[in-house]
Copies of this chain bind each other. A is one copy, B any other.
Amino acid sequence: MADLNRQWLLAFRPDGDFDESAFRLAETEIPSPDEDEVLVHNIYMSVDPYMRGRMRAGKSYAKPVEVDGVMEGGAVGEVLESNHPDFTAGDLVEGRLGWQDYAAVNHRAIRKVNPDHGPISTSLGVLGMPGMTAYFGTLKVAEAKAGDTLVVSAASGAVGALVGQIGKIIGCKRVVGIAGGAEKCGYVKSELGFDDCLDYREFGNDTAALQAALAQACPDSIDVYFDNVGGWISDAIYPNLAFGARIAICGMISEYNQMEIELAPRITRHLLVNSARVQGFIVSNFYDQWPAAIEEMAGWLRDGKLVYREDVIDGLEHAPRALVRLFTSKNFGKQLVKIRDWNG
């Protein structure tokens, strides 16, 4: 056990694109848990697109991280000490534990992880926040159903890869991904079983060309679009909507770094003529339904119906680099940082 707690702090609020200099490593004492708190020794931490929003001062769905505050993020670890009856030393837990070795957090910020469901890193991916995002976004927000044509952007990413597989599991007629590069598109088709995958890099920001390619890839139009990226890629979806289409807005990684909102063609007409719906969501809206969903996803995982891929960087000291990788599309699979060895 380290004597000190390494913590990544937000050094300043970067404008637009950012690099590793936005973060600063500090060392502090290992905290003691207060009343109702639990002390956790982290094992893996997650790196996710939403973190860009936490670095920004403006209004979002959660409060920003303070400058010189510990970066927020999901992590999985082992309970060392508990001042709440729901948890005991040795429990594996996942929650808002932050970019650090040790966290003393309120019991409400964590949940128990069942190691029988899979490797503990899955609690940050397929059986954690990204998995729940894919599950509820696809089934509850977009209300995907058998017979639908489903399109998902960032299709090889932590969420997108699951969205398409869930679509196939429930009987979608056609599942089409959008991803960056031939390697990712090949993976989406051959490993994940999507019917098709368009490489957005071939279209060089040309919305009209991508729109035409989507029309070809989706001959019966698009019933469901699961949007992870926003921007010009998503603009190409709207002219291809089917009547009654549902769009779930989960993320907008292409827009997170923008300081000014870009102009794009208005979508009013497409929504009106198709009685179509666009719904933004955050997965915490469904928090009370996570346990049942995790069971169902764990079942699909056991049955080989769901596959996933992890992109693990070793060492807490590399956490900022992991986030930069995500925002420069360098990752391939769920981006994780391994904080320490763990045998369990």
Q: Which residues of A contact B (CB under 8 A)?
A: 53, 59-61, 227, 230-231, 234, 243, 249-252, 255, 261-282, 285
Contacts and interface: CB of A to CB of B under 8 A. Distances in A.
12 contacts: A249-B268, A251-B272, A262-B265, A263-B263, A264-B264, A264-B266, A267-B267, A268-B280, A272-B280, A276-B280, A277-B277, A277-B279
A263 B264 contact: yes
Given A255-B266, A266-B255, A280 B285 contact: no
A273 B261 CA distance: 14
Contacts of A281: 275
A266 B59 contact: no
A262 B264 CA distance: 8
The winner among A269, A275, A280 for most chain B CB atoms within 10 A is A280
Contacts of A270: 280
Contacts of A269: 230, 252, 255, 261
A264 to B, nearest CB: 5
A221 B227 CA distance: 26
Given A252-B268, A264-B266, A265-B263, A275 B234 contact: no
A268 B255 contact: yes
B268 A274 contact: no
Task: Tell me the interface secondary structure of chain A in the complex.
Answer: mixed
Nearest to A265: B261
Contacts of A278: 271, 277-279
A271 B234 CA distance: 14
A227 B187 CA distance: 42
Given A263-B263, A263-B266, A264-B263, A273 B60 contact: yes
Nearest to A263: B263
Given A230-B269, A272-B282, 8 more contacts: A61-B273, A227-B268, A230-B268, A261-B269, A262-B265, A263-B264, A273-B280, A275-B280
Which of A262, A267, A282 lies at the interface centre, i.e. has the most chain B CB atoms within 10 A of its CB?
A267
B276 A277 contact: no
- Most central of A262, A266, A279 by chain B CB within 10 Å: A266
Given A261-B266, A265-B261, A279 B271 contact: yes
User: For A59, A268, A282, which residue has the most chain B Cβ atoms within 10 angstroms?
Assistant: A268
Query: Which are the 7 A-B pairs with shortest beta-carbon distances?
Result: A271-B280, A263-B263, A272-B280, A230-B268, A261-B265, A277-B279, A278-B278
A235 to B, nearest CB: 8
A155 B172 CA distance: 41
Contacts of A271: 249, 278-280
A234 B273 CA distance: 17
Contact of A275 (B61, B252, B268): B61
Nearest to A262: B266
A250 B279 CA distance: 17
B234 A249 contact: no
Contacts of A275: 61, 279-282, 285
Contacts of A273: 53, 59-61, 280
A332 to B, nearest CB: 25
A268 B279 CA distance: 10
Contacts of A282: 272, 275
